[in-house]
Structure 1
Amino acid sequence: MNIGVDLGGTNIRVAVVNDAGVILEELVCFTEVEKGPEPAITKMISMIKTLGETHQVKSVGIGAPGPLDAKRGVIIEPPNLPGWQNIELTKMIQSEVQLRVYLENDANAAALAEARIGAGKDAESVFYITVSTGVGGGYVYGGRVISGAQGNCGEIGNMIIDPQAAGAPGLNKGALEALASGTAIGKKAESVFGPGYGAKEVFQLAKEGNLEAEAIIDEVLTYLAMGIANIVHTLNPEVIVLGGGVMKSKDLMLEPLKEKVVPLLYPSLRPHLNIKLAVLDQKAGVVGAGMVPDQFR
């Protein structure tokens, strides 16, 4: 039984997670990124100590935005956590809570949860994609996260899809995240419909039959399909699991996306394409974080 910490740009979730991936108790607070790292880290330490007083836990796992160095336990410079440059997070927390602390990319943590007890359960290889404010990914093979040499395996948000397209801060020009994230949809919505329109409004308008909104979604699906085809040809996972806020509009997204991916694959791979929606929702991050310590043993 471990404590899992999901460090996000909006919320910090800290939970006691048992060996079956069940949350026994959870605490949530606002990250308040504008205040910098120290207040947020103080909150994490306080919540870990509170849960540790009433539960017998072995370790702490933290899922945090990349880029980061999981081996050294250092957050390098995540775009959605301004001011968090080269933060030795595990060292700082470990010295206060008297428990071994492990760090992992948040998408990898969510991937681990979905692979072990979620939509990818029983599959040997699972690639998890989160389409939300940004686009992230994680690869799990044989029940273990494949992190890469510097812990950045699965950083598909920076995958180049269209080198002639615009970029975004910290990303390549035409990167997948710049073209197919919730943020990208919001920017396109403002250019088409004006200020005040975002991804939520685009999906609502599309449901009402608005052709311009439907065109925005179709373009996003085209880019996302390219990214998925690249992943399939590179890693050939048994299952691709799609999560994140954008995928909640599954009626508009899932089947059209599959239809766009299939023609981009080798004919021999097309019958084996297996895309599923994530089932753990926002709990995947904190549950996966609670599983992270087992990866280091």
Structure 2
Amino acid sequence: MKGQLDRVDFERMKTIGIDLGGTSVRVALVDEAGAILTQEKTATESEKGVEAFLEKVAGMVERVIGEEEVSEIGLGSPGPLNPFDGVILDPPNLVGWENVKLKALLEARTGLRVTLDNDANAAALAEAKVGAGKAEESLVYITVSTGVGAGIILGGNLYVGAQGNAGEIGNMVVQPGGRAQGNLNAGSLEGLASGTAIGRMGEEILGATGDAKEVFDRAMKGEEAAKKIIDEAVGFLAIGVANLANSFNPSVFVFGGGVMQQEMVLPLLTEKVRTMLYPSMKRHLNLRKADLGTEAGVIGAAFLPRVSRLK
């Protein structure tokens, strides 16, 4: 495998992006403009252990590199994690992976330098560099799917916080004393506005299957109880977005994830957020859907070695 090139060559080089998820892992060769040149995707199978994962991914990396000269890998992973030391801490959807020194292990296996960070941060980078926010100075990317998370871009750089935990907005309290979900705070954003939360409310109130899409489908058909579930969930999401708008005042918010693909959500969210901002801020509120879809994670991962991380 080719690698170990001087940093002076790096900005003209291609990099490897790895998008690690609980279900699947994607490895891609990405050029400096964010174009995917070659890629592979397979099941993560985290339950088979870290060693089996490393063996599989190292092979994928070698195949997608081919004859190219590459020195860097960027890896986006579910958190919690320590991006500075490159350690996976205790992610709930990577079974048995606790305090895994993934950066060091993958470097030893591939001979390439590895930069590890949160998968939402990687997606935020992709949307900031080549996606919906590419012309903007600052961006907050929010994914609303099974869970809720965010990545924050300031001045073209990734803001990760003192311990690397910036953007863990799913645990933000938006209803004090509200419902608890898992190990999250009672009344958390994720517990009230995620696809999981919408599906749960649909099951309890509508007798639905627990699938958020069914709730949206029934709301689109005019079912009042379903419409109320969506309205309340989007209302809680609006509180979270307004808090971030008042805290960071970004040029744009970019939204990804399955919940945000529902056509009714973004207009309703925009309307609700505006009610929580100063009049002068309302005029500049800019909410957009993400452009890159499922490729955001792997493209953004490839950008991780190229940007500074702000504490």
Tell whether the structures are fold-level matches, with TM greater than 0.5.
yes
For the residues of structure 2 that align with 1:221 and 1:136, how far apart are their CA atoms? Answer: 15
> C-alpha displacement at 1:213, in angstroms?
1.3
Give the letter for the 1:52 counterpart.
Answer: I
SS at match of 2:233: helix
1:88 pairs with 82, 98, 101, which one?
101
1:204 pairs with 217, 227, 233, which one?
217
- The answer to whether the aligner puts 1:57 opposite 2:70 as a matched pair is yes
> C-alpha displacement at 1:53, in angstroms?
3.0
For 2:275, the equivalent position in structure 1 comes to 263
1:85-106 deviation line (CA, Å, top 9, x unaligned): 1110011110010100110111
For the residues of structure 1 that align with 2:130 and 2:136, how far apart are their CA atoms? Answer: 10
For 2:265, the equivalent position in structure 1 comes to 253
For 2:229, the equivalent position in structure 1 comes to 216
For 2:24, the equivalent position in structure 1 comes to 11
Deviates more, 1:225-234 or 1:51-60: 51-60
For the residues of structure 2 that align with 1:224 and 1:36, how far apart are their CA atoms? Answer: 36
After the TM superposition, which segments of 4 or more aligned residues of structure 1 sit over 3 Å from their partners?
A: 33-38
Tell whether the 8 Å contact from 1:79 to 1:170 is kept in structure 2 after alignment. no
Which consecutive residues of structure 2, in runs of 5 or more, have no partner in the other structure?
Answer: 1-13
For the residues of structure 2 that align with 1:4 and 1:226, how far apart are their CA atoms? Answer: 33
1:147-158 correspondence runs (5 A): 147-158=160-171
For the residues of structure 2 that align with 1:28 and 1:117, how far apart are their CA atoms? Answer: 22
1:53-87 deviation line (CA, Å, top 9, x unaligned): 34322210000011111010001111222311111
For 1:127, the equivalent position in structure 2 comes to 140
For 1:191, the equivalent position in structure 2 comes to 204
SS at match of 1:260: helix
- The answer to whether the aligner puts 1:39 opposite 2:14 as a matched pair is no
Q: TM-score when scaled to structure 1?
A: 0.96
For 1:74, the equivalent position in structure 2 comes to 87
2:182 pairs with 169, 191, 198, which one?
169
Which consecutive residues of structure 1, in runs of 5 or more, have no partner in the other structure?
Answer: none
Judged with a 3 Å threshold, the aligned counterparts in structure 2 of structure 1 residues 105 and 38 are, in CA distance, closer, same or farther, namely same
Give the letter for the 2:170 counterpart.
Answer: G
SS at match of 2:58: helix
- The answer to whether the aligner puts 1:232 opposite 2:245 as a matched pair is yes
For the residues of structure 1 that align with 2:213 and 2:219, how far apart are their CA atoms? Answer: 10
For the residues of structure 1 that align with 2:57 and 2:41, how far apart are their CA atoms? Answer: 10
- The answer to whether the aligner puts 1:288 opposite 2:272 as a matched pair is no
Tell whether the 8 Å contact from 2:58 to 2:110 is kept in structure 1 after alignment. yes
- The answer to whether the aligner puts 1:145 opposite 2:145 as a matched pair is no
The sequence identity of aligned pairs, in percent, is 50
For the residues of structure 2 that align with 1:142 and 1:44, how far apart are their CA atoms? Answer: 33
SS at match of 1:110: helix
For the residues of structure 2 that align with 1:139 and 1:10, how far apart are their CA atoms? Answer: 25
Give the letter for the 1:113 counterpart.
Answer: A
Judged with a 3 Å threshold, the aligned counterparts in structure 2 of structure 1 residues 262 and 296 are, in CA distance, closer, same or farther, namely closer
Give the letter for the 1:190 counterpart.
Answer: E
Tell whether the 8 Å contact from 2:208 to 2:214 is kept in structure 1 after alignment. no
For the residues of structure 2 that align with 1:271 and 1:53, how far apart are their CA atoms? Answer: 50
2:254 pairs with 223, 241, 245, which one?
241
For the residues of structure 2 that align with 1:34 and 1:56, how far apart are their CA atoms? Answer: 33
Q: TM-score when scaled to structure 2?
A: 0.92
> How many residues end up aligned between the 2 structures?
296
Give the letter for the 1:128 counterpart.
Answer: Y
1:114-146 deviation line (CA, Å, top 9, x unaligned): 011111111110000000110000100121111
SS at match of 1:61: strand
Judged with a 3 Å threshold, the aligned counterparts in structure 2 of structure 1 residues 177 and 36 are, in CA distance, closer, same or farther, namely farther
1:152-187 deviation line (CA, Å, top 9, x unaligned): 111111111112112222311111111111111111
> C-alpha displacement at 1:296, in angstroms?
5.3
For the residues of structure 2 that align with 1:285 and 1:126, how far apart are their CA atoms? Answer: 16
For the residues of structure 2 that align with 1:43 and 1:91, how far apart are their CA atoms? Answer: 16
For the residues of structure 2 that align with 1:141 and 1:295, how far apart are their CA atoms? Answer: 11
Judged with a 3 Å threshold, the aligned counterparts in structure 2 of structure 1 residues 248 and 52 are, in CA distance, closer, same or farther, namely same
